[in-house]
Copies of this chain bind each other. A is one copy, B any other.
Amino acid sequence: MGRWEPGARGRLGEAAMELFAERGFEGTTVSAIAERAGVTERTFFRHFADKREVLFSGADDARDVLLRTIAEAPPTQPLLEVITAAMQVIAEEAFSDHLEQARARQAIISSNAELREREMLKFAVVTTELAEAVRSRGVPEPAATLTAELGAILFRVSLHRWLEADNDRPLAELITDSLQHLRAVTSPA
């Protein structure tokens, strides 16, 4: 891709979110998104497979960071802690300054059954890839799958808490807090 592309991608994302808010997800066409961003439809399709993908492209970036962090982690650190630390980096870099944008995105997804299913599938695919990355670090099953599933739950629960209307705690802090709750819930009586 040429060096102008990140700019077009960013403008397309912003234009799509504006239009989803103004006209609803169903009422927004790819042609309208491209027009608002000042690019051609062809350029849109160079960046996104369809208008739904605009909402989920960030998940792929987060997935890449997670997989790289697992691959490079020191061999002695428990991988759930590695995953938690990586999610906190993602929280700081990709989420912390974008609370209103994240709330708008979640409102669009929540209002549409097809998007809710797509989100669930995305989580499932990333969880499967996480488990594979954990196995590659020598963790046997079922520990590898359990580690990946716990990472996915921690992120989902923390994100949900962060997006709540009355929340004022940062996402990274909520991830730490949710891990503590997770440990309390799993400890024997």
Q: Which A residues lie at the B interface, using CB under 8 A?
A: 76-78, 80-81, 117, 120-121, 124, 141-143, 145-147, 149-150, 153, 156-157, 160-161, 178, 181-189
Docked Cα-Cα span, A187 to B178, in Å, equals: 14
Tell me if A's interface is mostly helix, strand, loop or mixed: helix
Chain B residues, Cβ within 8 Å of A181 = 142-143, 146
In order of increasing CB-CB distance, the 3 nearest A-B pairs are A149-B153, A186-B186, A146-B185
Q: Are B185 and A150 in contact (CB under 8 A)?
A: yes
23 contacts between A and B (CB under 8 A): A77-B189, A80-B185, A117-B117, A117-B121, A141-B161, A142-B161, A142-B178, A142-B181, A143-B181, A143-B184, A145-B160, A146-B153, A146-B157, A146-B178, A147-B185, A149-B153, A149-B156, A150-B153, A150-B186, A153-B153, A183-B186, A183-B187, A186-B186
From B81, B142, B183, contact of A189 by CB (8 A): B81
